[in-house]
Amino acid sequence: MRVLGPSSAIPDDARGAALALGNFDGVHIGHQAVIASARGVALAHGMTLAAAVFEPHPRRFFQPDLPPFRLQTQRQRARALSTCGVMEVFEIGFDEGLAASSDEAFATQVLGELLGVRHVSVGADFRFGRARTGDVARLSAYGTRLGFTVHAVEPVGGTEKVSSTMIRGALARGDMDEASRLLSRPWAIEGEVQRGFARGRAFGFPTANMSLGDYTPPRLGIYAVRVDLGDGVLLPGVASIGVNPTVGALAQPLLETHLFDFSGDLYGRTIEVELIAFLRDEAKFPDTETLKAQMRQDVVNARTALARAS
Do 231 and 127 belong to one domain? no
Q: Go through 104-116 and write b for each residue having 16 or more CB atoms within 10 A of its CB, e for each that does not.
A: bebbbebbbeebb
Do 23 and 125 belong to one domain? yes
pLDDT at 191 over 70: yes
pLDDT at 82 over 70: yes
- Is 168 within the bounds of a domain? no
Q: Prior bond to 58 cis, omega within 30?
A: no
Q: What is the mean pLDDT of residues 221-229?
A: 97
Pairing mode, if any, of strands 49-55 and 88-93? Answer: parallel
**In degrees to the nearest 10, what's the CA dihedral of 45, 49, 54, 56?**
-170
Q: What is the mean pLDDT of residues 242-258?
A: 82
Do 142 and 7 belong to one domain? yes
- Report the alpha-carbon distance of residue 261 to residue 46 in Å, rounded: 49
Residues 6+ apart with CB under 8 A from 216: 68, 69, 70, 71, 168, 171, 172
Percent of the chain with pLDDT over 90: 81
For position 248, what pLDDT does the model report? Answer: 65
Do 182 and 149 belong to one domain? no
Q: Where is the domain boundary, 89, 118, 153?
A: 153
Q: What is the mean pLDDT of residues 257-274?
A: 93
- Report the alpha-carbon distance of residue 164 to residue 290 in Å, rounded: 38
Confidence of residue 301 (pLDDT cuts 50, 70, 90): very high
Q: Where is the domain boundary, 93, 120, 153?
A: 153
- Report the alpha-carbon distance of residue 210 to residue 309 in Å, rounded: 24
Do 145 and 261 belong to one domain? no
CATH no. for residue 118?
3.40.50.620
Do 199 and 104 belong to one domain? no
CATH no. for residue 205?
2.40.30.30
Phi, psi of 40 (to 5 degrees): -60, -40
Percent of the chain with pLDDT over 70: 95
HSE toward the beta carbon, residue 238, CA cutoff 13 A? 22
- Report the alpha-carbon distance of residue 189 to residue 151 in Å, rounded: 33
For residue 305, what are the domain limits? 175-309
For position 2, what pLDDT does the model report? Answer: 87
Q: Where is the domain boundary, 96, 123, 153?
A: 153
Confidence of residue 198 (pLDDT cuts 50, 70, 90): low
Confidence of residue 243 (pLDDT cuts 50, 70, 90): confident
Residues 6+ apart with CB under 8 A from 290: none
Summarised one tens digit per residue, pLDDT across range 144-170 is 999 999 999 998 876 678 999 999 999
Q: Go through 124-149 and write b for each residue having 16 or more CB atoms within 10 A of its CB, e for each that does not.
A: eebebbeeeebbbebbeebbeebebe
For position 1, what pLDDT does the model report? Answer: 87
Amino acid at 196: G
- Is 72 within the bounds of a domain? yes
CB 68 within 8 A of CB 252: no
In whole numbers, what is the pLDDT of the chain averaged over residues? 93
Do 139 and 274 belong to one domain? no
For position 166, what pLDDT does the model report? Answer: 95
Summarised one tens digit per residue, pLDDT across range 273-293 is 999 999 999 998 988 899 999
- Report the alpha-carbon distance of residue 248 to residue 261 in Å, rounded: 27
pLDDT at 199 over 80: no
Do 286 and 252 belong to one domain? yes
CB 54 within 8 A of CB 158: no
For position 197, what pLDDT does the model report? Answer: 61
pLDDT at 239 over 90: yes
Do 95 and 187 belong to one domain? no
- Is 17 within the bounds of a domain? yes
Q: Kindly provide the residue ranges of all beta strands, DSSP E only, lying in the chain, ordered along the sequence.
A: 2-4, 18-21, 49-55, 88-93, 119-123, 149-153, 187-192, 208-211, 221-228, 234-242, 254-259, 270-281
CB 10 within 8 A of CB 115: yes
Split into its structural domains, the chain has a count of 2
C-alpha angle 293-298-302 in degrees, rounded to nearest 5? 155
SS3 147: coil
Amino acid at 109: Q
CA distances from 119 to 41, 53, 89 (A): 8, 15, 15
- Report the alpha-carbon distance of residue 159 to residue 36 in Å, rounded: 21
Lowest mean pLDDT among 104-118, 195-209, 267-281: 195-209
pLDDT at 7 over 70: yes
Residues facing 208 on adjacent strands = 257
CB 192 within 8 A of CB 270: yes
Amino acid at 263: S
